[in-house]
């Protein structure tokens, strides 16, 4: 394993733990940018943010990133590093391999439930945290050379997956990791869809509309078929199957709500 590895991902995704173990295993230097920030400023992130605010933290974070990237080895980053265009540019321009450690929001929240050192976790409401999540997830994905799903995995397993990315059979490992990540995103989207379904059911309840509007569903189906007409992966039959699955799930959901 040669060049620098940068680990990115949301708070609590395991960047520091995995980074430490990975560096040990591969006999490389390990740097945690949050720790480097503390060394650089002589103050904890919590009190730095309390005194100077998040914007000042981000500016300083960029300086630390730029400086520490002069080193090689394993570098774990703070969860918000991707929010700044400059940081993303610095990381993308470096010749480091960027690995996104992806975990579900629910997993992250439960892992950090008792954390008192992460200021943002304390300051943000659940809605704000979810907004941050939604903002960052696509940024992590687009910056990463590889994504590793970390839910329910022990750090040792994740470390082995990272190491495998650099071994000759890495193509399969990397593709599998990518497909796992897509599956997670699909299930997350379905869950989000069901939340909207609940809201629709409430409106229907209030306005006396019936649960199913067949015309609307047929229209949706044909719009999708039109949109994916030229996509050889997506046949009309597949769209029918997906729409059947989505609508039957939501109709069951709505019916339950109507009682």
Residues in touch with ligand S3P (CB under 6 A): 11, 15-16, 34, 45, 78-80, 118-120
Q: Cβ of residue 116: shortest distance to ligand S3P, in angstroms?
A: 12
Closer Cβ to ligand S3P, 16 or 146, answer by number:
16
How many Å apart are CA 181 and CA 111, to the nearest integer? 20
Strands of the sheet containing 30-32, edge to edge, are: 30-32, 74-76, 5-8, 97-102, 146-149
Closer Cβ to ligand S3P, 125 or 210, answer by number:
125
Q: Cβ of residue 62: shortest distance to ligand S3P, in angstroms?
A: 12
Closer Cβ to ligand S3P, 16 or 150, answer by number:
16
Closer Cβ to ligand S3P, 88 or 118, answer by number:
118
The number of helix segments (H) and strand segments (E) in the chain equals 11, 5
| Structure tokens that stand for 192 in this block | 């989000």
User: Do 46 and 52 form a contact (C-beta atoms < 8 A)?
Assistant: no
Q: Cβ of residue 40: shortest distance to ligand S3P, in angstroms?
A: 13
142: nearest Cα among 4, 8, 1: 8
Q: Cβ of residue 117: shortest distance to ligand S3P, in angstroms?
A: 8
User: Do 8 and 82 form a contact (C-beta atoms < 8 A)?
Assistant: yes
């Amino acid at each position: 394993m040669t060049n620098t590895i940068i680990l990115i991902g949301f708070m609590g995704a395991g960047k520091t733990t995995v980074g430490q173990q990975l560096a040990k295993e591969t006999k490389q230097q390990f740097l945690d940018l949050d720790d480097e920030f503390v060394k650089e400023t002589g103050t904890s992130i919590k009190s730095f943010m309390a005194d100077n605010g998040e914007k000042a933290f981000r500016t300083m974070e960029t300086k630390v990133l730029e400086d520490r990237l002069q080193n090689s080895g394993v570098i774990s980053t703070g969860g918000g590093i991707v929010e700044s265009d400059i940081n993303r540019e610095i990381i993308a321009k470096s010749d480091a391999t960027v690995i996104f450690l992806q975990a579900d929001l629910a997993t992250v929240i439960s892992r950090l439930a008792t954390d008192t050192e992460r200021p943002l976790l304390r300051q943000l409401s659940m809605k704000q945290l979810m907004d941050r999540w939604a903002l960052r997830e696509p940024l992590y994905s687009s910056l990463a050379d590889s994504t590793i799903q970390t839910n329910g995995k022990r750090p040792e397993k994740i470390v082995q997956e990272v190491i495998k990315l650099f071994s000759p059979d890495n193509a399969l490992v990397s593709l599998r990791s990518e497909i796992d990540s897509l599956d997670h995103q699909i299930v997350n989207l379905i869950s989000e869809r069901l939340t909207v379904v609940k809201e629709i059911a409430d409106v229907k309840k209030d306005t006396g509309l019936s649960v199913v509007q067949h015309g609307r569903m047929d229209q949706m189906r044909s719009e999708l078929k039109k949109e994916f007409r030229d996509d050889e992966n997506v046949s009309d039959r597949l769209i029918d199957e997906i729409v059947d699955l989505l609508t039957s799930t939501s109709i069951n959901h709505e019916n339950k709500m109507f009682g």
